[in-house]
Amino acid sequence: MRSINKNMQRPMFKKKSRSSSSSTIKSLPKELLVEIVASVASHSFVDLHNVKKSCKDLLEAAEDNYVYRRVSLDKLSFIPRSSNDKELSFLKRCKENQNTESLYREGLRECLGNENAEGLRLLDMAAKEGHKEAKYVYGHDLVVFIKTR
């Protein structure tokens, strides 16, 4: 794999063929690929998008529900654009898989816009999963909700 160029005394690496890197990924268990992709997604949904474009095996792993549960929504607008079907579909899938940030955002929108118990339920779910802002808002809204009854 590695050879020494005698003139320069620096290691030289032979190029690997594309098929060997592809077979390396194929040799990994699907659960490990899903965990790797979920870890990338937890830092940035942009990175998730890039991983999906890199190869078929990672694209397949990226479609696992666990990835949607862990994906970071930090760079997405708090109010989704209703004209963007891909974004709405992505956010819906995140919510269906109990992504805590998605639950928090939807719960907050429901509480502020419709003032209904569904918003409290979503905030409660996010809070129980450890979402700090959801814990604060849920506690505050629960007090207000109880006082108004």
pLDDT of residue 13: 54
Q: Is residue 40 part of a domain?
A: yes
Q: How far apart are CA 24 and CA 36, in angstroms?
A: 14
Q: Residue 38 pLDDT > 70, yes or no? A: yes
- Per-residue confidence at 20, pLDDT binned at 50, 70, 90? low
Of 14, 41, 76, the position where a domain reaches its end is 76
Q: How many domains does the chain have?
A: 2
> Which position has the token pair 């207000």?
144
Quick one: pLDDT at residue 2? 52
Q: What is the mean predicted confidence (pLDDT) over 99-109?
A: 90
Across 134-144, b (16+ Cβ under 10 Å) vs e yields bbebbeebeee
Give the residue from 76, 101, 117 where a domain finishes. Answer: 76
What DSSP line would sit under 32-77, residue for residue? HHHHHHHHHHTT-HHHHHHHHHH-HHHHHHHTSHHHHHH---TTS-
Kindly report which listed range (1-5, 105-109, 123-127) carries the lowest average pLDDT score: 1-5
**Distance (Å, rounded) from C-alpha 108 to C-alpha 138?**
9
Domain for residue 22, yes or no? no
- pLDDT digits over 43-67, tens only? 999 999 999 999 999 999 999 999 9
Residue 15 covered by a domain: no
Angstrom distances, CA of residue 31 to CA of 44, 53, 66: 20, 19, 10
**Are 67 and 105 within one domain?**
no
Residue 20 lies in a domain: no
pLDDT digits (tens, 9 = 90+) for 77-98: 887 777 788 888 999 999 999 9
Nearest to 33 by CA among 15, 12, 55, 16: 55
Say whether both 72 and 107 belong to one domain: no
Query: Which residue, chain included where needed, has tokens 């870890």?
Result: 39
Could you tell me if 142 and 118 lie in one domain? yes
Quick: pLDDT tens for 117-145: 788 889 889 989 888 888 888 777 665 55
Its domain, for residue 137, covers 91-149
- The whole-angstrom separation of Cα 2 and Cα 54 is 26
User: Residue 149: pLDDT band by 50, 70, 90 thresholds?
Assistant: low
148 lies in the same domain as 103: yes
Task: Indicate whether 132 and 98 sit together in one domain.
Answer: yes
pLDDT of res. 141: 63
